[in-house]
Amino acid sequence: MIEGSLYERWLAALELNKAQQKSSGIGTLSEKPVHAAVKYTVEPNDSYHEVRIGSYVADVVTEQGIIEVQTRNFSGLKKKLAFFLEQGPVTVIHPIALTKWICWVDEESGEVSPPKRSPKRGKPLDGFYELLRIRELLGHPNLTVEFWMLELTEYRFLNGYGKQRKIRASRYQQIPMDLTEIVRCHEGRDYLALMPELPEHFTTKELMKAAGRTEAWARRTLYTLEQAGLLRRCGKEKKAILYEKIQ
């Protein structure tokens, strides 16, 4: 359940997004709509945005600490985050699409298809895919990670392969529509709580099946949690490695 005042700020941020889209057009904004919506929700006053700390720039700085919004790739975050964590409390917000509506854009005609709901539904555990890149920092006492579960509309160009030109088509823009849940992780047990129900000792394939995700995701997740000191190997079942939770 989203706190009332926070949700009100979210709605105000969406209205600001809409106004910017009307004046600039989708895809021409200097800041991506999802990133902007989250940033203006946590702090509507933009004088607290883009604050220089040392040689880095933080998305938001308030009395509660530093806030970084990472919508996609965490690859460039590690050094910056390590520095920020030495200064005080840091919250990393990672938006995840719980529900996604797809619209296809024809680059030649400009025609946009009606939105169609994607069968894929996001879960907070999808965040493990990016947490791999900051795995050594997950146990830091100053770090909190928040997964913001969103409903959004994604526009994609019809520039891919296949008869319908949809295979490996490029993303044009994502427009946030609703904020449904915020999942906070601060301690090791919080991250482990994102895992699906599993036996005491489990394999990669059992995690994959329980989570409804790919084997690549399961392997990446297990490596992340193992490196973070939250899982350990505890034997083998035939040729498959067995894992168990530490906390």
Give residue 72's pLDDT band: very low, low, confident or very high (50, 70, 90): confident
Which of residues 73 and 7 earns the better pLDDT score? Answer: 7
Q: What is the topology classification, in CATH, of domain 197-247?
A: Arc Repressor Mutant, subunit A (1.10.10)
Please, is 55 exposed, middle or buried when counting C-beta atoms within 10 Å of its C-beta (0-12, 13-18, 19+)?
exposed
Question: Could you give the residue range(s) of every CATH 1.10.10.10 domain in the chain?
Answer: 197-247
Kindly report the pTM of this predicted structure: 0.92
In this prediction, what percent of the chain has a pLDDT beyond 90?
81
pLDDT over 70 percentage in the chain: 96
Quick: pLDDT tens for 165-190. 898 888 889 999 999 999 999 999 99
Classify burial at 3, counting beta carbons within 10 Å of its beta carbon; exposed 0-12, middle 13-18, buried 19 or more.
exposed
In b/e form, how buried is each residue of 105-118, taking b as 16+ CB within 10 angstroms? beeeeeeeeeeeee
